[in-house]
Chains A and B, each alone.
Chain A
Amino acid sequence: MLVVWMGVLLLLLGYFFGIYFFDNGTGGLIIALILWAIMNLVAYFQGDRILLAVTGARKIGPDDHPRLYNVVEEMKIASGLGKMPGIYIMDDPALNAFATGRDPNKATVAVTAGLLSKLNRDELQGVIGHEMAHIKNRDVLLMAMCSVLLGTIVILAWYASRFLLFGGMSRTRRSSSSGRGGSGQVIIIIVAIALMILAPIMAQLIYFAISRRREYLADASSALYTRYPEGLASALEKLAASTDQMKTANKATAPMFIVNPFRKQGMAASDLASTHPPISERIHILRSMAGASFSDYSLAYRQVRNTSKVLIPAAAVTAAGTVALRAAQPEAPEKVEEVQRARETSNLLWNLSDYKTITCACGTKLRVPPSFRESKIRCPHCGMINPV
């Protein structure tokens, strides 16, 4: 629904733009539509590739990191997705993840190396479930459309303001020769100016509102898929506690991530100008869920936010009813696990950069860079000569 408002805003802006400059609204409307169409096409066909290139993510297979691959496959099954999404790793110590791809059959999930080494299996499952929900709900496409719409509105408003400043003279001449003028003309000018200033701001706010709503929905879906909201809650807690910032994120890619990559510590709750709801609130909602279904989530949402706002369409809520939660997966002591996971992740990253790993007889692991040409290498620890 909010998307429609954004579109209406664009068309209104285009219309008044046209009335003001061409004495006829359709010209502006057509300009707005053409601009929108072109930007949409670019985003539609190149969006995922651009995003992956910008973040420097690399693709992995089932043997590179069996646990991650298995968890993604588990969530693919739970969400009923037709095809396995591509899995990418970002070599970044920050804890984050995103999903992209214009339709559910050509989707991609990307996680940072930091996430892989810090989260246990249940938590990873929660995060992947959240990303899978974005894919399943086609949020990627929706947010791409919205951001293009937003971009078009901003550009159009910007041009309109330029025209207004520098084209004022010719404008007055034309209106006097057309012989209209009067109070109607003044009203149109005022509305046009107001729209030029307000439209980009309003569009931005609407865009943020849509983004936040889709985040809640993805959280609810993740809980439904995993039947274990605590997994995502505790993952979000770890994500919130980490202080590393994403190196590669920028404003355009922000709504794609599971937590806002730009968030500051202790950011104001329910900030209107944010792509994501505050993490503490998301955790609180997940923890107050009595079951795993959508209706449990909306109940918890209303309880935590103290509103009667409808978050999820009623049809989706009634279909599921209440769903029981499952128990946690048994885990080894957290410390042992974390060392193990960090080791796994660093192995993976070395392998992805084409480094060879040679285990010397003394137990030392030698990482041989791809540029190393010789056939033997000396172990720096025990001095033994190993074949490459």
Chain B
Amino acid sequence: MTIAVWIVIGIVVILLFVFIGIYNGLVRLRNQVKNAWAQIDVQLKRRHDLIPNLVETVKGYMKHERGTLEAVTKARNLAQQAASAGAGERAKVEGELSSALTRLLAVAERYPDLKASQNFLALQEELASTENKISFSRQFYNDSVLKYNNQTQMFPSNIIAGMTGFKPGEFFGVTVAAEKEAPKVSFT
């Protein structure tokens, strides 16, 4: 009798430990997703901050390209307003900003004086790197979301995820068109 009781207690304790382990794993993954999202946020903000600077530097050289410059400024303001929106909406607006930037930098290629300016070169490096950082943080975010979602949907962790209210995460998708148009910056 007593042996049976001890066995039952043992099983319950083991189950408890398994439960705690899986639960903590889920929390860790969810925090990683949150952290990765914060990282994207930082980089997108960094890009928003760089753009007025870029426009200011470029303006003096590119007197005949008002339309391109305004498009960039407009896209940037729109993106800034969408800063608190969900992942899907944000990806769309930021994609538009990316393509506006591409056009601006493509036009800049036609101005040798501008390309020789130290200020512009430094900005170009910053912008290119920020662009890379955005795509790397998106990459890491999506990997984290995939891992987290797998964990919330696979047996046996899905039972615990369902019990304790872990919801699947949203991917930071970018439409194919915007992806293709990521600014092409050349390093000179």
Contact = CB atoms under 8 A, between A and B. Distances in A.
Question: Is B truly associated with A?
Answer: yes
Interface of A: 66-67, 70-71, 73-75, 77-80, 120-121, 225, 227, 319-320, 326, 329-332, 336-337, 340
A332 B187 contact: yes
Interface of B is mostly: helix
B147 interface: yes
9 contacts: A70-B126, A70-B132, A70-B133, A74-B132, A77-B133, A78-B140, A79-B140, A80-B143, A332-B188
B129 interface: yes
A77 B39 contact: yes
A319 B32 contact: no
A78 B136 contact: yes
A104 to B, nearest CB: 14
B187 A70 contact: no
Interface centre among A70, A79, A120, A336 (most CB of B within 10 A): A70
A384 B43 CA distance: 47
Contacts of A337: 187-188
A77 B137 contact: yes
B140 A77 contact: yes
A330 B184 contact: yes
B110 to A, nearest CB: 16
A79 B36 CA distance: 11
B98 interface: no
A248 to B, nearest CB: 30
Interface of B: 32, 36, 39, 43, 122, 125-126, 128-129, 132-133, 135-137, 139-140, 143-144, 147, 150, 184-188
A66 B125 contact: yes
A340 B186 contact: no
Contacts of A331: 186-187
A79 B143 CA distance: 11
Contacts of B133: 70, 73-74, 77
A330 B188 CA distance: 10
A315 to B, nearest CB: 12
Given A70-B125, A225-B136, A80 B188 contact: no
Given A330-B186, A331-B187, A332-B188, A73 B129 contact: yes
A320 B140 CA distance: 12
Contacts of B150: 319
A80 B186 contact: no
A227 B187 CA distance: 20
A340 B184 contact: no
Contacts of A225: 136
B184 A227 contact: no
A66 B133 CA distance: 14
Interface centre among B39, B125, B133, B147 (most CB of A within 10 A): B133
A121 B188 CA distance: 11
Given A77-B136, A77-B140, A332 B186 contact: yes
Nearest to A67: B125
Contact of A74 (B122, B126, B129): B129
Given A77-B39, A331-B187, A70 B129 contact: yes
B29 to A, nearest CB: 12
A363 B128 CA distance: 30
A62 to B, nearest CB: 10
B33 to A, nearest CB: 11
A39 B50 CA distance: 50
Closest 9 CB pairs of A and B: A70-B129, A78-B136, A332-B188, A77-B136, A74-B132, A330-B186, A77-B137, A80-B140, A330-B184
Nearest to B134: A77
A331 B188 CA distance: 8
A66 B122 contact: yes
B100 to A, nearest CB: 18
A340 B126 CA distance: 17
Given A66-B122, A80-B32, A336 B136 contact: no
A337 B144 CA distance: 36
A290 B15 CA distance: 43
Contacts of A74: 129, 132-133, 136
B58 to A, nearest CB: 19
A107 B24 CA distance: 27
Contacts of A326: 135
Interface centre among A78, A120, A326, A337 (most CB of B within 10 A): A78
Contacts of B128: 329
Nearest to A75: B136
A73 B32 CA distance: 18
Given A66-B126, A67-B125, A78 B139 contact: yes
Contacts of A79: 140
